[in-house]
Structure 1
Amino acid sequence: MTAPGTIYGLGLGPGDPDLMTVKADRLLRGARHVAFFRKAGRKGQARQIVNGMIPETAVEFPMEYPVTTEIPLTDPRYNEILSGFYADCTAHLRSLAEKGEDVVVLCEGDPFFYGSFMHLYTRLNGNVPVDVVPAITGMSAAWTATGAPITWGDDVLSTVMGTLPEDEMVAHMTRSDALIVMKIGRNIDKVRGALRKAGKYDRAWLVEFAAMPGQTVQKLSEAEGKVTPYFSIIVVHGQGRRP
């Protein structure tokens, strides 16, 4: 029998190829099969990060999301369609592994931090070998871009999703000393309102395209009315104990 291949969840870091780990770089440059997520008709951000690093002989497998933001998250069809999509992707990757082929799955940021790879991992793990390669997260690149430490001493850091109801965001923001707000996009006005109610609006920074070409850093209060791109993170620094 052929020994099974390994599915690698390859964390690429926040966007700058220089911030990839040595292990991720090695696995990518020796890959025979490379899979990555993307929107239909797009190249895909993860694929863009590693442009020029994939061997010319590698077989690429783009996994195109079947839904867009036009379908609300609360619509039962959303989970149903995505579940079928992940099942199909899993079946293809598992078939390659069962034939003895290693497959590298490109993951923006860290594979286990709000990424799509987790949905493949839960379906593959226990059936074929899976190896997750951790990486620098996008939020780490974002707070570094502000030029100030995110936490001091006993500060409590919370990662808050802009998709939450405003009252839930306010509760999390009020309890925490330092904040990272993700999944902003069309939720920006709701996020602004929550930050104001939590008394943290004037301390908030907006970082766009952290560690990518086109990175911008500015106070959130100076970006009123601005349309925020997908790769946007809001940072509120802690002000805790220090010597």
Structure 2
Amino acid sequence: MTVGKLSGVGVGPGDPELLTLKALRLIQEADVVAYPAAKAGNGVALSAARPHLRADQELLPLVYPVTASPEADLPSYPQVMRDFYDATAEEIAAKLDAGRNVCVLCEGDPFFYGSFIYWHARLKDRYETTVAPGVSSIMAGPAALGVPLVLRRDTVTVIPGTLPAEELTRRLAGADAAVVMKLGRTFAKVRAALEAAGVLDRAWYVERASQDRERTLRAADVDPATAPYFSIIVLPGREIP
């Protein structure tokens, strides 16, 4: 029996209209559409792709055992996640071995902080694999604000909010432009780092870029308790007029 083909498809930050033509083709060619999700819901990736799915496609949820909660700080977290990726990779492999094409949906871009990186590492040597890049929130955030990110000789730094406070401050202070990802419970620390770096007055906050519940504010005006994981800080370049 011919084995199936694997694809990791970036579906963008949430707006179903931000899928590329290649992403749309790979989704529609798939027999099985797999998608990462938290225990509490179906996830952004499936929501973005759902208008483009066929009724006869099998849906395969890949449900995280732990998400961005205090459990992620436990010493057992890395092993729990390794076990999860091992087990779900074999679920995907079973579909491929049965001759079915599997598309794994990825919010944003598959290779930019994407969970697909872990499935790709486990399966790429066993199956024909295609990766379709997607629109990242780094691009969607400035578009939502109507504020350019970089111009001329400015460089941009992408910073995970999970870094230590001192490192956040150092990188923000040295950046022409920056985007801070992975907010949520890290927001208060990131805001303090923006202030310590002397750039809080230039910083913008974008929540759920391109989605129905999109929200934009000056970073200084955000209540840290209200910031979800799917939010970013945008620090426009120094040369932006």
Q: TM-score, normalised by structure 2?
A: 0.95
Taking the aligned partners of 1:170 and 1:52, their CA distance within structure 2 comes to 41
Residues 230 and 91 (structure 1 numbering): CA distance in 2 closer, same or farther, change over 3 Å? same
% identical equivalent positions: 36
Please tell me whether residue 158 in structure 1 is matched to residue 161 in structure 2: no
Give the distance between the partners of 1:199 and 1:19, measured in 2 at CA: 34
Matches within 5 A, 1:8-47: 8-47=7-46
Please say which of residues 43-52 and 19-28 is displaced more in the overlay. 43-52
> 2:66 is aligned with what amino acid?
V
Match of 2:177 in 1: 178
Matched, 1:70 2:70: yes
* SS of aligned partner of 1:51: helix
Q: Is the 8 A contact 1:154 1:241 kept in 2?
A: no
After TM superposition, give the deviation of residue 220 of structure 1 in Å: 1.1
How far apart in 2 are the matches of 1:26 and 1:151?
32
1:225 to partner: Cα distance: 4.9
Q: Residue 88 of structure 1 corresponds to which residue in structure 2?
A: 87
Q: Is the 8 A contact 2:8 2:131 kept in 1?
A: yes
In structure 2, the gaps of 5 or more residues are: none
Q: In 1, distance between residues paired with 2:5 and 2:72?
A: 35
AA aligned to 1:137 is: S
Aligned partners of 1:190 and 1:60: how far apart in 2? 38
CA change 1:81–1:224 in 2 (3 A) is closer
Report the 3-state secondary structure (helix = DSSP H, G, I; strand = E; otherwise coil) of the residue aligned with 2:45: helix
Give the equivalent residue in structure 2 for 1:135.
134
Amino acid corresponding to residue 139 of structure 1 in structure 2? I
Report SS of the residue matched to 2:76: helix
Higher helix share: 2
- Identify the residue that residue 113 of structure 2 maps to in structure 1: 114
Q: 1:27 to 1:225 in 2, by over 3 A?
A: closer
User: Secondary structure of the equivalent of 1:50?
Assistant: helix
Structure 2 letter corresponding to 1:206: Y
How many residues in Structure 1 have an aligned counterpart in Structure 2? 240
